[in-house]
């Protein structure tokens, strides 16, 4: 069961309504877990399309920005069911990064960027850094990558990074960053951080571009605002302009991405930067029982509060939160699975013939770190219970798909050197290390891309006739393929072209050659064929059945589709909604919900995570506590917290103290005393009082 399984109320509550109707000034919606924030965003979009002061916008004048493609797709889906396919199709609903791509493709030339620049993924960046930093050590390169990314997220360039570098390590990283910047500029390539940083630079330095976008985007809505980093906030400010109007939706208590640059400063600064900001807390939760919410509120109450907010629900007290103490990891897995089995049997008795209540997809096990999934996988397999582990390798991370993406990127942008290297050597075609080394040197000397260097006259002097022949043959083939890809439109023709290409480069053979196990090779080839189908589908042209209507989609060329690939990282619909138990990290569980949840391994050292004792700052503890809060609020009906007594360490078992967060939940305190009817009346009164208070204070910031 995924993100919008909660029983949504027929009517919006007063706070939601206020958030939707507030149109004349910037608005911060503090959306507690399960408080219906997507509903608020989509209804606000619908409101903005209607006539009235502050509204009456065209769909293209509204931007809704999310963090993941998945969230964007869901948002579009919800918007579509509210305002129809026609209007929703024109809305700008996308991630920060795809918005960045849009800005750069349209106006990036002001920064000296070709419109068909390529976007590097993390692996490309690693290999460039290895090269630029003169090391073969992947770990070192990754370390630089991490450091550089954090700097970029703070809006620093290499010279600024160098001047504020504190250690020798950082100084070296800053120097490598300088080389890295030069490489990217030469390649006409950008990394993911640039997709925020460069649009920011573009809007800062070029007034006409800034004016253009500020004029076009009359209302910007930002989802998961607590996850924005410094550059994203700056970009938002530039997009909306001095007295711009926007709606930020977020929850300070669910900020769990500080380690990758997200900063709560953006929430703190909002009331200062926009004095007429209206803050609207959404505190009614439509997801969880009171017992679960009480535990969640108790835990998060230990953190210093940016904004006051206490979740409540009228879904009843529910089952008490249970605590499970286990000897070790295996025992914990056994008990958790046994708990699911017996619990499900009870449910089967209670709701015979209602599979929606008893499906395995109602159950989830959440933990801090990926490796904790293992014992649970084993236990579930032993019990013959189907499961899925979220956050596994994505389709686009598979080597065979990356190979093909490398080719496509090269077709889109001949100057994409990492793509060139990948394509030229996969499959092997007589272009080896030696040849590429020489070519690279040559290209570096003349400051041209590898592809450009390929066809220069003077290259012949430096290479053997055979090597040169292989290179030229490759170059000619790429040119030819590019030409064909540019002029092939629509799914059917695209598929033919792609299959022909795979045959030309003997890719299937390459897979079988590189893999001893035939089954594995066959699985890989299957992935390749899936990929071909997927591209073909995106080329459009076929008749699509859309809610009873048949429409012909616009035909795109293979090149058009290839251009957009690096931004799309999931074949979302592939294995959605299977009837299986979910195993997930707490991080990956944000935004999702299940009727029955086990939080596993809730011990000091795991949650809060620490390497050694006492090596953790108060800020880190606070973020870990928010992680616990996120975990608790995933559960709708029942919640089990499980802790270990002993943990395996080498051959020995060591004591594993339970997490401090367990005590903070204060289980057993403040149970149900009120008569349910009495309670309902109290809640109604509270609601009315709150609405009144909100109406009185124009701006409120705590």
Residue 490, by phi and psi: left (phi above 0), alpha (psi -120 to 50) or beta? left
Q: Is 582 in the site for DNA (CB under 7 A)?
A: no
Q: Which of 609, 653, 687, 691 binds DNA (CB under 7 A)?
A: 609
Q: Which of 50, 346, 464, 570 binds DNA (CB under 7 A)?
A: 570
Query: Per the residue annotation, which of 18, 61, 224, 334 is the catalytic one?
Result: 224
Cα-flanking dihedrals φ and ψ of residue 281, to 5°? -85, 135
Active site residue 140: no
Q: Is 192 in the site for DNA (CB under 7 A)?
A: yes
If the CB atoms of residues 323 and 621 are measured against DNA, the closer one turns out to be: 621
If the CB atoms of residues 512 and 609 are measured against DNA, the closer one turns out to be: 609
Q: Is 381 in the site for DNA (CB under 7 A)?
A: no
8 A C-beta contact, residue 33 and residue 633? yes
- Lateral strand order in the sheet of 387-389: 322-326, 635-644, 594-599, 363-367, 581-585, 387-389
If the CB atoms of residues 229 and 488 are measured against DNA, the closer one turns out to be: 229
Q: How many residues bind DNA (CB under 7 A)?
A: 36
If the CB atoms of residues 86 and 139 are measured against DNA, the closer one turns out to be: 139
Question: Residues 636-675: x/- map of binding to DNA (CB under 7 A)?
Answer: ------------xxxx------------------------
Q: Which of 44, 78, 97, 422 binds DNA (CB under 7 A)?
A: 97
Q: Is 520 in the site for DNA (CB under 7 A)?
A: no
Q: Is 620 in the site for DNA (CB under 7 A)?
A: yes
Distance CA 116, CA 109 (A): 10
Q: Which of 259, 464, 670, 682 binds DNA (CB under 7 A)?
A: 259
User: Residues 6 or more apart from 296 whose CB is under 8 A from it?
Assistant: 33, 288, 311, 629, 632, 633
Largest CA distance in the chain: 92
Query: Per the residue annotation, which of 44, 78, 634, 636 is the catalytic one?
Result: 634
Burial class (CB in 10 A: 0-12, 13-18, 19+), 537: middle
Query: Per the residue annotation, which of 61, 223, 604, 664 is the catalytic one?
Result: 223
Q: Is 116 in the site for DNA (CB under 7 A)?
A: no
Distance CA 34, CA 634 (A): 8
Distance CA 645, CA 608 (A): 16
If the CB atoms of residues 553 and 620 are measured against DNA, the closer one turns out to be: 620
Active site residue 428: no
8 A C-beta contact, residue 15 and residue 694? yes
Q: Minimal distance in Å, beta carbon 330 to DNA?
A: 13
Query: Per the residue annotation, which of 228, 232, 254, 438 is the catalytic one?
Result: 254
Q: Which of 85, 306, 499, 588 binds DNA (CB under 7 A)?
A: 588
3-state SS record for 347-368:
HHHHCCCCHHHHCHHHEEEEEC
Q: Is 134 in the site for DNA (CB under 7 A)?
A: no
Active site residue 37: yes
Q: Minimal distance in Å, beta carbon 360 to DNA?
A: 21
Between the alpha carbon of residue 666 and those of residues 199, 300, 366, 629, the distances in Å are 47, 12, 21, 13
Active site residue 211: no
Q: Is 619 in the site for DNA (CB under 7 A)?
A: no
Q: Which of 35, 98, 228, 362 binds DNA (CB under 7 A)?
A: 98
Chain-centroid distance, C-alpha 326? 34
Q: Is 369 in the site for DNA (CB under 7 A)?
A: yes
8 A C-beta contact, residue 245 and residue 26? yes
Segment near DNA (CB under 7 A); pick from 313-321, 479-487, 566-574, 684-692: 566-574
Burial class (CB in 10 A: 0-12, 13-18, 19+), 365: buried
Active site residue 224: yes
List the one residue out of 376, 384, 389 whose CA is nearest residue 600.
Answer: 376
Question: Which alpha helices (H) appear in 557-604, and where do they start and end?
Answer: 558-564, 586-589
Q: Which residues are catalytic?
A: 37-38, 223-224, 254, 634
- Binding stretches for DNA (CB under 7 A): 67-70, 95, 97-98, 121-122, 138-139, 192-193, 195, 259-260, 368-371, 374, 391, 567, 569-570, 585, 587-588, 609, 611, 620, 624, 648-651
């Amino acid at each position: 069961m995924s993100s919008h399984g909660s029983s949504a109320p027929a009517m919006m509550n007063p706070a939601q309504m206020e958030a939707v109707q507030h149109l004349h000034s910037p608005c911060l919606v503090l959306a507690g877990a399960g408080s219906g924030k997507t509903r608020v965003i989509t209804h606000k979009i619908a409101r903005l399309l209607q006539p009235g002061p502050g509204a009456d916008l065209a769909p293209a004048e509204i931007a809704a920005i999310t963090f993941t493609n998945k969230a964007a797709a869901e948002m579009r889906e919800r918007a579509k069911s509210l305002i129809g396919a026609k209007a929703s199709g024109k809305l700008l609903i996308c991630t920060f990064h795809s918005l960045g791509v849009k800005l750069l493709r349209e106006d990036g030339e002001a920064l000296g960027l070709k419109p068909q620049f390529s976007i590097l993924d993390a692996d490309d960046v690693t290999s460039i850094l290895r090269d630029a930093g003169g090391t073969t050590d992947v770990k070192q390169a990754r370390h630089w990558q991490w450091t550089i990314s954090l700097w970029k997220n703070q809006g620093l360039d290499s010279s600024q990074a160098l001047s504020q570098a504190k250690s020798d390590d950082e100084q070296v990283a800053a120097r490598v960053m300088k080389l890295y910047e030069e490489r990217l500029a030469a390649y006409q390539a950008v990394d993911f951080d640039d997709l925020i940083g460069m649009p920011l630079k573009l809007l800062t330095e070029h007034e006409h571009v800034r004016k253009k976008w500020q004029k076009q985007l009359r209302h910007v809505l930002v989802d998961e605002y607590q996850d924005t980093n410094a550059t994203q906030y700056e970009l938002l400010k530039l997009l909306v302009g001095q007295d711009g109007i926007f709606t930020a939706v977020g929850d300070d208590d669910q900020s769990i991405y500080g380690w990758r640059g997200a900063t709560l400063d953006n929430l703190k600064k909002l009331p200062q930067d926009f004095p007429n900001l209206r803050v609207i807390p959404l505190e009614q939760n439509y997801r969880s029982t009171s017992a679960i919410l009480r535990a969640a509120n108790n835990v998060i109450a230990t953190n210093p509060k940016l904004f006051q907010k206490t979740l409540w629900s009228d879904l009843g007290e529910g089952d008490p939160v249970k605590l499970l103490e286990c000897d070790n990891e295996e025992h914990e897995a056994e008990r958790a699975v046994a708990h699911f089995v017996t619990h499900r049997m009870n449910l089967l008795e209670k709701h015979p013939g209602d599979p929606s209540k008893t499906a395995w997809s109602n159950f989830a096990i959440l933990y801090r770190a990926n490796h904790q999934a293992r014992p649970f996988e084993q236990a579930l397999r032993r019990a013959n219970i189907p499961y899925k582990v979220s956050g596994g390798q994505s389709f686009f991370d598979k080597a065979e798909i990356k190979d093909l993406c490398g080719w496509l990127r090269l077709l889109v942008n001949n100057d994409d050197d990492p793509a060139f290297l990948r394509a030229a050597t996969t499959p092997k075609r007589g272009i080896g290390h030696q040849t590429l080394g020489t070519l690279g040197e040559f290209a570096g000397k003349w400051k041209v891309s590898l592809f450009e260097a390929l066809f220069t006259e003077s290259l012949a002097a430096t290479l053997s006739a055979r090597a040169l022949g292989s290179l030229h043959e490759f170059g000619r083939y790429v040119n030819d393929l590019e030409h064909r890809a540019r002029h092939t439109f629509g799914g059917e023709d695209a598929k033919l072209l792609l299959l022909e290409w795979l045959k030309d480069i003997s890719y299937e053979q390459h897979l079988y050659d590189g893999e001893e196990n035939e089954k594995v090779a066959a699985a890989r080839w299957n992935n390749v064929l899936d990929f071909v189908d997927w591209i073909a589908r995106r080329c459009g042209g076929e008749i699509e059945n859309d809610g009873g209507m048949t429409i012909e989609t616009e035909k795109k060329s293979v090149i058009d589709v290839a251009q957009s690939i690096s931004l799309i990282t999931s074949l979302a619909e592939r294995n959605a909604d299977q009837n299986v138990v979910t195993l997930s990290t707490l991080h990956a569980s944000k935004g999702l919900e299940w009727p029955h949840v086990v939080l596993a391994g809730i011990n000091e050292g795991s949650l809060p995570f620490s390497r050694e004792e006492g090596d953790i700052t108060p800020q880190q503890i606070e973020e870990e506590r928010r992680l616990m809060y996120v975990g608790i609020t995933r559960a709708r009906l029942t919640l089990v917290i499980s802790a270990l007594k002993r943990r395996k360490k080498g051959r020995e078992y060591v004591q594993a103290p339970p997490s401090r967060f367990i005590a903070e939940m204060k289980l057993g305190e403040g149970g149900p005393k009120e008569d349910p009817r009495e309670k309902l009346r109290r809640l109604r009164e509270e609601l009315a009082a709150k609405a009144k208070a909100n109406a009185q204070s124009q701006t409120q910031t705590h």
